[in-house]
Amino acid sequence: MASALILGEVSSLGATQQTLELLTAARSLLVDGDTIAAAFTGSPGLSTPNVPADSIYLIEHDALGESDSATFDAATDSLTALATEIRPDIILSSRSDAGSVIAPRLAMRLDAAFARDCTSIERNDDAITVTRPVYGGNANARFKLNGPGPHVIMLRPGAYEPEAPSDDSPEPIRFDPIAHIRESQSELLRTVQEAQEGVRLEDAEVVISGGRGLGGPEPFRQLEELASILGGAVGASRAACDAGWIDHSQQVGLTGKSVSPRLYLTFGISGASQHMAGCSSARNIVAVNTDADASIFGDARFGVVGDWKNVLPALISAVRDIS
Ligand SMILES: Cc1cc2nc3c(=O)[nH]c(=O)nc-3n(C[C@H](O)[C@H](O)[C@H](O)COP(=O)(O)OP(=O)(O)OC[C@H]3O[C@@H](n4cnc5c(N)ncnc54)[C@H](O)[C@@H]3O)c2cc1C
């Protein structure tokens, strides 16, 4: 018998998409009799998230309400105490802002094996093997996690389909963190709020990205128009961001964001390995580029050798007609 603990996160709409993806991943590892617990941290008044777990732990405290380093310290303290008490075999976290900070610290505190940015997990008998992209997404490596556990595994967003939210969540168990929260080792100096309009790049099912081949900032308005028709988000290569055509918060790649949409549509992007590192787990890549030898065509499922100036307006018009 095995048990999994999910480090859940909530937004104003309930459990995040990434939390529901963790549930799918956990369920794929478990057999009859195994259990899934989900833990959520937040300030007092946290509503019970709508997740189909066997048990739900709510950890509420004033120190857990923000999304800053002191909060992550307090969450690490609380979750370490919870994991020590309930002793899960596997702990799953998403590669969110909070998960990226908390999961490795939790692994260190629990003296547990840790694997980051995984795209799949397998369990054979009691051995856990994870797959994660390496060398900027150019190869996949498989790692076997040794030892009895717990194993802490951080999953790349979009690696699994999300489970459906549940209307019938179990009665939450309240875990009191007060005895466990230590004085924070960090001091918050400044907060910069990222402007957010429409769907978040990391959550988008459709991402339309532009590169240096667009030649300036104006064509990004057309990418935004297409993204809004398709309910998607706009991304960019680093070259386009460095040129000041679009904000760096929209950069996809090794030093930008990782996205895993169903459709990743690019215009004027060459497909450098550092860019592909951020989109290699997209289900379908479609590229528009004037150079038939551009390396992005090696990754693309469909490609158009052509000028974006001809293809993009025609595509917008065609998509408008059918939507
Ligand atoms: C340490 C490091 C980290 C990096 N991190 C990132 C990262 O996170 N993300 C990232 O993107 N890059 C990153 N880079 C940069 C990366 O190596 C590339 O330089 C960058 O991705 C190139 O951007 P691009 O494809 O837009 O531009 P280019 O390589 O200049 O390609 C432009 C493409 O547009 C095509 N084109 C030109 N005109 C048209 C037209 N009219 N219609 C259609 N196509 C046209 C061209 O054929 C060409 O293929 C990193 C580099 C380093 C060294």
What CATH number is associated with residue 31? 3.40.50.620
Under 8 Å CB-to-CB from 47, ≥6 apart: which residues?
10
Please report, for residues 172, 235, 253, the alpha-carbon distance to residue 279 in angstroms, rounded to integers and kept in the order given. 37, 10, 7
Q: Are 238 and 251 in contact (CB under 8 A)?
A: yes
**Residue of 2, 104, 6, 105 lying closest to 49 (CA atoms):** 6
- Is 227 part of any domain? yes
Q: Give nearest CA residue, ligand 1 atom 14.
A: 274
Q: Which domain holds residue 113?
A: 3-174
Helix, strand, or coil (residue 312): helix
Within 6 Å (CB) of ligand 1, which residues are found?
211-213, 237-240, 251, 253-256, 268-270, 272, 274-275, 278, 288-291, 294, 307-309
For residues 8 and 138, state if they share a domain. Answer: yes
Best of 252, 274, 308 for a ligand 1 pocket test (most atoms within 8 Å of beta carbon): 274
* Phi-psi sector, 14: left (phi>0), alpha (psi -120 to 50), beta: left
- Is 147 part of any domain? yes
**The domain that contains 208 carries what CATH number?**
3.40.50.1220
Separation of alpha carbons 158 and 189, rounded Å? 32
Residue 132 phi, psi (nearest 5): -145, 145
- How far is ligand 1, taken at its centre, from the CA of residue 162, in Å? 32
Q: Which residues pair with 285 in a beta bridge?
A: 264
What is the distance, to the nearest Å, from the Cα of residue 148 to the centroid of all Cα atoms in its chain?
27
The one-letter amino acid code at 207 reads V
For residues 162 and 248, state if they share a domain. Answer: no
For residues 312 and 273, state if they share a domain. Answer: yes
Separation of alpha carbons 308 and 216, rounded Å? 12
The model's pTM is 0.73
| H or E stretch at 142 | strand 139-145
How many domains does the chain divide into?
A: 2
List the pLDDT tens digit at each of the 323 positions of the chain: 589 999 999 887 789 889 999 999 999 998 888 999 999 999 998 888 889 999 999 999 988 887 777 889 999 999 999 999 999 999 999 998 899 999 999 999 999 999 999 999 999 877 899 999 887 777 899 999 988 789 999 998 888 989 998 888 899 999 988 888 888 777 778 777 767 677 889 889 999 999 999 999 999 999 999 999 999 999 999 999 999 999 999 999 988 988 989 999 999 999 999 999 889 889 999 999 999 999 999 999 999 999 999 999 999 999 999 98
For residues 64 and 164, state if they share a domain. Answer: yes
For residues 160 and 209, state if they share a domain. Answer: no
Location of structure tokens 């065509």:
297
- How far is ligand 1, taken at its centre, from the CA of residue 161, in Å? 30
